[in-house]
Amino acid sequence: MFESKSGVLLIGGVGFFVIAFLSNALVPALMYRHLPEATVTELVERNSNLKYQFEDLSHRYPEQFAKYYGEPTQENCAEALRLGRQTYVNEGCWHCHSQFIRPVSREEDRWGPVSKTEEYQNELQRPVMFGTRRVGPDLCREGGRHGNDWHAAHFFKPQLVSHHSPMPEYPWLFDGSPNEPNRRGLALITYIQWLGSWLESYPYYEEWEPISAKPAP
Amino acid sequence: MINAQVRPVAGATHEELVDEPLVVAYFLTALVFLSISMLAGFLMALQLVNWNPLRGVELLSPGRWRMVHTNAIAYGFLANAFLGALHWAIPRLTLKPVLDRRLSWFIYSAWQVVVLGTALGILLGPTLQANSSALAALPFSLGAQGVEWGETPVWIDPLALAGLALVAINFMPPIIRTGGPLYVTLWYFMAAFVWTFLTYAMGNFLPQYALAGTSAGAVGGLFIHDLVGLFVTPLGWGLMYYFVPIMLRKPMWSHGLSLVGFWGLAFFYPLNGIHHFLYTPIPMFLQSGAIISTIAVEMVVTTVLVNFFGTIWGSGRAVVTNLPIRWFYTGMVFYGITCLQCALQTTLTFQALIHFSDWVVGHAHLVMFGVFSMWLLGIMTYLFPRLWHTEWYSRELCEWHYWLSAVGLFVMAADLTLAGVFQGFYWASLQPWEDSVDGSMPFWIVRVFAGVAMMAGQGCFFWNLYQTWRVSRGALPAFASAPVAAAS
């Protein structure tokens, strides 16, 4: 059995793989089967924070917004969210930014509430954007922490607003200047502003106390 | 003499068994993708220290090239080099040719379409879709897919899966037609054909089409891990069980340990995946299971290493005289370090500190370059003279290739591991994020130069290869060079 073709193929090859798949992939899928998976339209409908940010984009960049999205309607916001997520994936943002808060390493203090399963049950987490690396900060509570114009400048040339940032610049998300985000640029800003916008704590600001201000022990 | 070792074997001649031009084609293609991958990694390394001279160019975006870096190494270099080595090892081990030579060449071409399609999709896809309303209307993205190590665009996934099925169809007949109990190598290969297919299907389709959120994260973790554990690892170890006894001219030390190693890996490796997402909303009991399995894998790996070091016991001088053996055993030492690291870093204690940091990046380089690329470069060092029927042009250059690669890799891995510890403490101490970036700079600068050393090593290899090819064509007189794989 241990050195035969059928043993290796059926037990080792197929059998052990299936055991692992059932226990590690099917179990969580079954556990969460009662949690509904929200569509993008549903995400937009119940979210006034996101609506505010999307309308703010239309006021702040009226010509660009009218050219690429027309009116700040719910349908257009859903379209921008989808394209924003696609841009986030295609540009590899998720390789330097994670989207989950752990209950350790004082992440709650820095980023806000620990991530919960329900937050990920939606169309925009397909495939899920947990991420595995943080060159830059975690983004799942980023929505609302910075204004839309900050994000525009930051995507155009990160060093304009964050001096030592090693983040690459993305001028192709603009029509020439940081004041002119194009379809993808507006979409990516919308997507980033959506992150965490569903939470009570939105927008989350950490209570940061410089180390030097603390009394010496 | 080289030629004497490629003697006819019972029943079939070497020429009938091995399609030598195909092996050469696979190896050379693999080296092209290795170069592309290293340049892509270099670009990202320069970006991190703000030395990137090519800023703001959409098609040279470090974010996109970072994905080309990993995909080119996994599917361009490792897969091609493995296929080349398999086309040598399987027919010679079973004494039977593969199913069909034309199919072999078809698979070769199809796989290059997959790899190039992946690279072009990642680099050009988003640009094309942004500039053409017809393409933008497509229901899917032409660019990268949001699965780590599976960024292969969704429109290539079916083709890649078909290619993997054809690989199994082409290689299985000689194995199936072999009677009696099979040698260790073939256990690993057979299992790898099944696992690679299943792993690819699981990782590239389920999180995209079937599952959302946390359960997709569990599958993503399985995929990241299985790609290393069930595609790269079994093919790598299978080749080691084939080449090491041949070069040392003695059997494996213990067949019993070979059995423990294979079945232990087969059982525990697939259960590890979720350890990539500890402290996520994935149920805690599944995280604990993955941690325990990972530690179990470390124990199994120890048995495999004991077996290989038992084999070389008494022939230790081979690591000095025989370059391929040196590549192999260096890879095994790195494998031991990697797996020890694994068993430690998978614990919740370590994870709290080092997850998301450069520690993980160092670990990945240690595995993918330090172990599997080392083995494949060793196999190439062994096989190119046999494929071209001449000694290496220069043993010196072979030595440089080895030392620059090994030292460069070791410095890079050690540097990034240490960087990860620093980053973890910066983050946990709640200093401003920018401080963790500034604090990483010295490590990132060292990493750039370690990468340069590794690239210089490959440069020596390519030059040596070109000159050896010229010698084989008679364009260059043979150079009185010491053999790189002297019999021990």
Q: Once rounded to an integer, what is the mean pLDDT over residues B48-60?
A: 95
What is the C-alpha to C-alpha distance for residues B442 and B425, in angstroms, rounded to an integer?
Answer: 16
Q: How confident is the model at residue B310 (pLDDT cuts 50, 70, 90)?
A: very high
Q: C-alpha distances in angstroms, B43 versus A114, B4, B246?
A: 34, 45, 40
Distances (CA, A) of A201 to A188, B101, B257, B427: 22, 63, 56, 21
The residues of chain B that CATH labels 1.20.210.10 are 1-179, 315-488
Closest residue in B to A107 (Cα) is: B428
What pLDDT is attached to residue B12?
82
In sequence order, which residues have a C-beta less than 8 Å from that of residue A30 and are 6 or more positions away?
Answer: none
**Could you confirm whether domain B1-179 is CATH 3.10.20.30?**
no
Q: What is the DSSP letter of B342?
A: H
Task: State which H helix or E strand residue B169 sits in.
Answer: helix B157-176
Q: Residue B180 has what pLDDT?
A: 82
B253-273 mean pLDDT: 96
- How close is the nearest chain A Cα to the Cα of B108, in Å? 24
User: For helices B374-388 and B20-48, what crossing angle results, to 10°?
Assistant: 140
pLDDT of residue B488: 41
Burial letters A151-164, b for 16+ CB under 10 A, else e: bbbbbbbbeebbee
As given in the structure block, the two tokens for residue B332 are 């095994």
CA distances from A153 to A147, A149, A174, B286, B487 (A): 10, 6, 10, 42, 64
**Lookup: tokens for B73:** 């190494």
Q: What is the mean pLDDT of residues B174-182?
A: 91
Decide if B181 and A3 are in contact by the 8 Å CB cutoff: yes
| A16 closest CB neighbour out of B67, B266, B429 | B266
**Tokens 């364009």 sit on residue:** B475
The alpha-carbon gap from B102 to the nearest alpha carbon of chain A, in Å, equals: 26
Q: Are A178 and A152 in contact (CB under 8 A)?
A: yes
Picking from B215, B286, B351, B363 by the largest number of A CB atoms within 10 A of its own CB, the best residue to mutate is B215
Query: Is A23 within 8 Å of chain B by CB?
Result: yes
How far is the C-alpha of B13 from the C-alpha of B400, rounded, in Å?
35
Give the pLDDT score at A208.
62
Distance CA A77, CA A71 (A): 9
Q: Using the beta-carbon criterion (under 8 Å), do A115 and B50 form an inter-chain contact?
A: no
Contact by Cβ (8 Å): A177, A155: no
**Quick check: B198 and A9 CB within 8 A?**
no
Identity of the residue numbered A8: V
ipTM: 0.93
pLDDT at A176: 94
pLDDT in tens, A103-135: 999 999 999 999 999 999 999 999 999 999 999
Judge: B289–A134 Cβ closer than 8 Å, yes or no. no
Sorted by sequence, the CB contacts under 8 Å of residue B238 that are 6+ apart come out as B89, B184, B185, B186, B187, B188, B189, B192
Q: Does the B315-488 domain belong in CATH 1.20.210.10?
A: yes
Indicate whether B212 pLDDT > 90: no
SS3 for B18? coil
**A 127-166 residues with CB < 8 A to B:** 127-137, 157, 162-166
Q: Spell out the alpha helix ranges (H) of B49-100.
A: 62-71, 79-94
- Which chain B residues contact residue A93 at CB under 8 A? 63
Is B217 a residue whose pLDDT tops 90? yes
Measured between beta carbons, the chain A residues lying within 8 angstroms of B447 are: none
Tokens of B66: 């970072």
Contact B153, B87 (CB under 8 A): no
User: pLDDT band at residue A212, thresholds of 50, 70 and 90?
Assistant: low
Q: For chain A, what is the mean pLDDT?
A: 93
Does residue A23 register a pLDDT over 80?
A: yes
Stretch B125-135: mean pLDDT: 93
pLDDT bucket at B5, cuts 50 / 70 / 90: very low
Structure tokens belonging to residue A185: 């640029």
The whole-angstrom distance between residue B215's C-alpha and the CA centroid of its chain comes to: 27
The yes-or-no verdict on residue A19 having pLDDT over 50 is yes
Closest Cβ opposite residue A128 in set B217, B271, B283: B217
The one-letter code for the residue type at B390 is T
Please report the pLDDT score of residue B487 as a whole number: 46
**Contact predicate B343/B295, CB 8 Å:** yes
- Inter-chain residue contact B127 with A106, CB threshold 8 Å: no
d(CA A24, CA A18): 10
pLDDT, greater one: B476 or A103: A103
Q: Span A58-74, mean pLDDT?
A: 96
Calculate the average pLDDT of chain B.
94
* Contact between A155 and B234 (Cβ < 8 Å): no
Cis (ω within 30 of 0) for the bond into B442? no
pLDDT at A201 exceeding the cut of 90: no
Minimal Cα distance from A104: which residue of B?
A: B352
CB of A215 less than 8 A from some CB of B: no
**Model confidence pLDDT, tens digit, residues A184-198:** 999 999 999 999 999
Residues 6+ apart with CB under 8 A from B359: B345, B416, B417, B419, B420, B421, B423, B424
The pLDDT confidence band at residue A2, using thresholds 50, 70 and 90, is: confident
Q: How confident is the model at residue B481 (pLDDT cuts 50, 70, 90)?
A: low
Which of A25, A92, A94 lies nearest to residue B218, judging by beta carbons? Answer: A25
Q: Does A6 touch chain B (CB under 8 A)?
A: no
Query: Per-residue pLDDT for B191 more than 80?
Result: yes
How large a percentage of chain B has pLDDT more than 90? Answer: 91
Round to whole Å and give the CA distance between B41 and B458.
Answer: 14
Distance from C-alpha of A181 to C-alpha of B121, rounded to nearest angstrom: 24
Task: Inspect the interface and report whether the beta carbons of B271 and A171 lie closer than 8 Å.
Answer: no
Q: Please list the residues that pair with B22 across neighbouring strands.
A: none
Phi, psi of B10 (to 5 degrees): -50, 130
